[in-house]
Structure 1
């Protein structure tokens, strides 16, 4: 039994016995550890602990989950317990509603007509992002917790500065410094484009729209029937949430959901994601086309900072991946 998780669960549920802890798959964030929990009474949960002792991410995720659960139209897991100030900060949630998008995506790929079904799923993801981004704020900022009135407490700052802080966080959780100079290049790009970024809308962003973080709520894929009440996408893992430009979240979602190391996924899928967003929001985020190239540069850090992790998914020598990342970063910087 993981000692940190066991300590957190004993603090949160002193009268409940834990039968076992289970792994939840690989994570590229070494600062946290998440385990599945099977209680002796038959209950199930997930426990996330900040193994580095920094409760900032736990406080952020706890605040966002409670904010969204308060009658807002985004399905999220129920919070069972959480303490960002504990010796080992922790968050315990109920299982997410629905079925993991990644599992359904793989299953659909083996069916006749699966491409259309996959596109329908991506439209639902786009609509869910648009619904999330409808939560607007007067200022951009880092989420630091709850405000005590059911809202979110922000550390306000101009959007370029908030974006730079997210870049710092990426470096903190990154697993490789092999391409550390890419962080400097991205920071320089943001600084050089402050005027293009400054007037972006201020919306609630998820910040990590990857398939393992999305669960499909409702039966089927929605391709051949009308949407039903409760249909949608339930996101988990809100620790990177912040208030910023919705265009950044949409660019990141497309990249994480569809693209490879330096290859883009099928355009029909990207178009479905954007179409679902546009239908729900009456268009793409304001300034999407103008700011997209900047966010494409920022997204390269998802390769550069984790190039060692990518070697487990791309069957090529590290040196080749580094060369490809260098070329891709140069091309993206030129596109700005």
Structure 2
């Protein structure tokens, strides 16, 4: 039992509740990723006639520099896309300092002279005030050196990136978040090792597990933090991956619409002679990336309708016994 003297010193229930709320808020803030946009520059692009902005971010979760390609950046107005941490005034900075990092002149900046580090609890625009019907298109994209730079046909990463940029550019407002999460977060070296396991008969999920790694090691906490910094409380998300939707909703943002990203070859049917474009045939008509996409649907829960001929080809192509 509590001694009487100690009992008389206990705070009231209301005081305890207030204290618990305060502690909870502190814990939430500590758990949230802190991001800072350190530079923005213009990117004249082949996607549309507009000039886009490329923003580079540092963060409190890893040592990587993640990117945001913003279509329609404007450092003014409550519904504009702009970086709070980039545009914030900094101690003893000159107009030249602001110009070098890509921030607007202070007279044109929409945010007060406060901290240049985003605080998720304080800076997140309220989702209830957003017009979800006009939420910008957003693609959360993980980098893929083999697909985007080398043109590998083991995956559809480059096609998804180009498709997202084309769609967002057409609307003249939106964001491609380009996260440095090669190989679903396992890194390039292990991704290449996983490719060798796939050639031995494992699918893309099983290959990671055989290496003692998660099937998907990615986190989207940094993506959510960047969207907050960009004044975006609600999105129309370009993805087939329900984990992305669940993650950013869990972090307090609104996904007003999920838009599927359908491979062109799946929407137009199997084209004759596709084996000639450099990929190893998996069945009579399937290519490497078809098997990869089927595995993501059947084994990893991606939301995508598999064409009947692709599914039939997958069933007909008996997987070799893993060695």
TM-score by length of 1: 0.27
Structure ranking higher on relative contact order (CA contacts 8 Å, 6+ apart): 1
